[in-house]
A and B are shown apart, each in its own frame.
Chain A
Amino acid sequence: MGGTETMMAGTAASAAPLELSLQGALNLALDEILAEDPKALVLGEDVGTLGGVFRVTSGLAGKHGAARVFDTPLAESGILGMSIGLAMAGFHPIPEVQFDGFAYPAVNQIVCQLGRMNYRSRGTLPMPVTLRVPSFGGIRAPEHHGESLEALFAHVPGLKVVSPADPQQGYTLLKAAARMPDPVIFMEPKSRYWQKGQVITESGLDDGGKSPVADGAAGARIARPGRHLTLVAWGAMVARCLQVAELAAEDGIDVEVLDLRWLKPIHADALAASVGKTRRAVVVHEAPRTSGLGAEVAQIITERCFGTLKAPVERVTGFDVPYPSGDLEDEYIPNIDRILFGIQRVLEYKRG
């Protein structure tokens, strides 16, 4: 997982990129995974005939068979527990919990079982399970349909956590996660499902016979280069930070946006390289502030860049409140103004 900050940009494409939504890119990735890996299985609530409530699994059951893409009863602990048993039987399950908040009923299986089985069995029972979790808020959904669980999952030993920010990331990271021999929590920003972007697929790459996805999916990524300050974000917040950077540029502030991608392991070298250059950082996340991942990111930056920092690392986050109803969502999720205020605080910081 060492990885570099750049990914597919440098790889020569032999076919035109596809214009896909994040949902479509994830669907394509699952389709290819099921075609390539006869041990891959997709399971969860409504993932079969319906194709998932966000249609990410649309058409897969028809194409790959109802045995490989199947609906389960409505029980998240059951979905995860079953996936663990399937992995013990040599399969590569890709379970879905329908919404982030419904991962809570499965936490026992995720924390006590999924994250520990490789360790407990001394490496003899690997857990190549990719848990897809439609994540974060921004769609005015009912309670438990918009939560930011990354700190909870990242804190659990034995789990890896990743969140794509756009269609290309969705495609690349999901293919990479599904090929990993370890459990990956794959947090899909549901507010971005319908945003389109260009996707270079593996079949469209002139890769000289070597798949670029594994390398291209490692570590963090510079979503926008800049000189004055680094905005660190992941998932749905990357797009917002890119908007903020455009606005800041109008005021002559050149903001770099670092798409962290992997929330565990965090790509510390990428953080150090970016903040080492800009000397200022703001971490942006939707999750509540206290013990959030922003604290971890800020500490990594402090350890790596203490001598060069011009200001303490700032956090712009959700609040320490239960994720609010749709009407208050825009007050809770870091908006453009709050992020700009954060940038301002860092730029205007004076040593006391």
Chain B
Amino acid sequence: MQTSVQRTTTRGRAGLAGAPRAPLAELPAVEPVTGNELVELYRLMTAVRHLDLAAISWQRQGIVPAYAPELGQEAAQVGSALAVDPKRDFVFPTYRELGVALACGVDMVEYMSTHKATWHGGLWNPAETHVAPIQAVVAGSVLHAVGWAHGQTLEAQGELPADGYNIAVTYLGDGASSQGDVHEAMNFAAVFNAPVVFFVQNNGWAISVPTEKQVAGGSVATRGAGYGIPAIQVDGNDAPAVLTATRRAVAHARAGHGPAIVEAMTYRRGPHATSDDPGRYRSLEDERADAGADPIARLREGILTAGAATAAELDAADAAGAAEAERVRAGVIDLRPRPGTEMFDLVFQEPTDELQRQKANWQEETELREESDHE
């Protein structure tokens, strides 16, 4: 009895006083970003910029009903995505990850299909591209990344493979960080030592609510310490810095050291979505003052200073991005509604009899309607 009490007391005291805890791991250092990589960042970021601005005008022209712009977040998105190997890793985006999807090789017409209201989640194949479908519940997929990542260590039977674990990267915003699922995900990831990178784009706004009214403490990265997860906060408008930070987090997870957090401090220059009116909650002056330097202009300056490419070469990359946006525009216009049968066929792997009955009924009534329309 006496022994048991003592043991309990010791445990309790250690817990209360703060038992000696392992210091947070230092994220490993990585090679500096090369000149070629700088140019690749520029190529992708300008392509994203053209497409993103084009999508807003498509919405105004009625080509797509709605769109969630990412103006100003090109460095955060492309910079982080270039640190991922979509052949082996798996990316869990939000609905604002055009730049991530593009850098991971997702077909941009298939990507835009979700904004054209062709199919929730988009038309690309997530199993092949390793980019999960879009979904609208903020933080909804953050836990999926933890599960997928834990699956990689199970697959490897706990033995670190020679080339490290496949890792999951999950994207979330400052707004999503208020959701309980983010706490559960970070706690689970740390408990299971899952190879997952939480990439937070703190763009200053959760629709109309600024970070200071959304994120207690003002930073998501600082929460990492509570979970024992190492975290880096990085200038999200500095593309090579984002790439380096994410590579360090990826290297940490790949090497079997568990999860890591990268918080890219960036700025949502446009509205939350095409139906949003930022003028109701911030002035144009605030917007200009808070946004800082344009990440693309900043990168261009850096490349020219480093002599990694000439202005003419960068202009050519820019023009290629503009041309690509035009090609995507044509593809988006050509997108037709999916056959109504898919509505029934894709609910289950094995549809129920009732669903088959509803489908047959829908088909019959559709045919009758079409016949009467012809008369």
Contacts and interface: CB of A to CB of B under 8 A. Distances in A.
Interface stretch (A24-32, A115-123, A145-153, A251-259): A115-123
B189 to A, nearest CB: 9
Given A75-B184, A86-B151, A119 B347 contact: yes
Contacts of A157: 347
Of the listed residues B123, B155, B184, the one surrounded by the most CB atoms of chain A closer than 10 A to its CB is B184
A34 B121 CA distance: 33
A77 interface: yes
B349 A118 contact: yes
A297 to B, nearest CB: 13
A124 B149 CA distance: 19
Nearest to A182: B348
Interface residue tally on B, bucketed by range: 35 or more
Interface in A16-58: 41
B262 to A, nearest CB: 19
B349 A182 contact: yes
A91 B150 CA distance: 11
A38 to B, nearest CB: 10
Interface string A106-120: 001100110011111
Given A264-B352, A268-B354, A78 B125 contact: no
Contacts of A77: 143, 180-181, 184
A88 B147 contact: yes
A1 B158 contact: no
Nearest to B180: A77
A90 B127 CA distance: 10
Interface string B116-144: 00011101011110001101010011111
A9 interface: no
Contacts of A81: 140, 142-144, 146-147, 181, 184-185
A85 interface: yes
B144 A85 contact: yes
Nearest to B166: A89
A120 B137 CA distance: 13
Interface residue tally on A, bucketed by range: 35 or more
A125 B129 CA distance: 12
A2 interface: yes
Interface in B318-374: 342, 345-350, 352-355
Contact of A89 (B128, B148, B184, B350): B148
B90 interface: yes
Contact of A67 (B154, B181, B188): B154
B135 A112 contact: yes
A339 interface: no
B80 interface: no
B151 A121 contact: no
Interface in B284-339: none
Contacts of A230: none
A295 to B, nearest CB: 16
Nearest to A2: B353
A160 interface: yes
B152 interface: yes
A85 B354 contact: no
A41 B135 contact: no
Contact of B154 (A41, A113, A124, A265): A41
Contacts of B140: 81, 108-109, 112-113
A67 B158 CA distance: 9
B181 A121 contact: no
Of the listed residues B135, B150, B185, the one surrounded by the most CB atoms of chain A closer than 10 A to its CB is B150
A158 interface: yes
Contacts of B353: 1-2, 265, 268
Contacts of A73: 184, 187-188, 191
B168 interface: yes
A126 interface: yes
A67 to B, nearest CB: 6
Interface in B166-214: 168, 180-181, 184-185, 187-188, 191
A119 B143 contact: no
A109 B157 CA distance: 27
Contacts of A8: none
Interface in A45-101: 67-68, 72-73, 75, 77-78, 80-91, 93
A82 B140 CA distance: 11
A181 interface: yes
Nearest to B142: A81
Contacts of B148: 85-86, 88-89
A88 B144 CA distance: 8
A260 interface: no
Contacts of A67: 154, 157-158
A223 interface: no
Given A89-B151, A120-B120, A121-B126, A78 B184 contact: yes
B68 interface: no
A272 B240 CA distance: 67
Contacts of A120: 120-121, 133, 135
Contact of B187 (A75, A86, A123): A75
B132 A88 contact: yes
B354 to A, nearest CB: 5
A213 to B, nearest CB: 15
B64 to A, nearest CB: 19
B78 interface: no
Contacts of B180: 77
B159 to A, nearest CB: 11
23 contacts: A67-B154, A67-B158, A75-B184, A75-B187, A77-B181, A81-B140, A81-B143, A81-B185, A82-B144, A85-B144, A86-B151, A86-B154, A90-B151, A91-B154, A118-B348, A121-B132, A122-B119, A122-B125, A124-B126, A125-B132, A182-B348, A182-B350, A265-B352
Interface of A: 1-2, 41, 67-68, 72-73, 75, 77-78, 80-91, 93, 108-109, 112-113, 116-126, 157-158, 160, 180-182, 264-266, 268
Given A113-B141, A121-B125, 6 more contacts: A41-B154, A73-B188, A80-B143, A82-B144, A113-B144, A118-B347
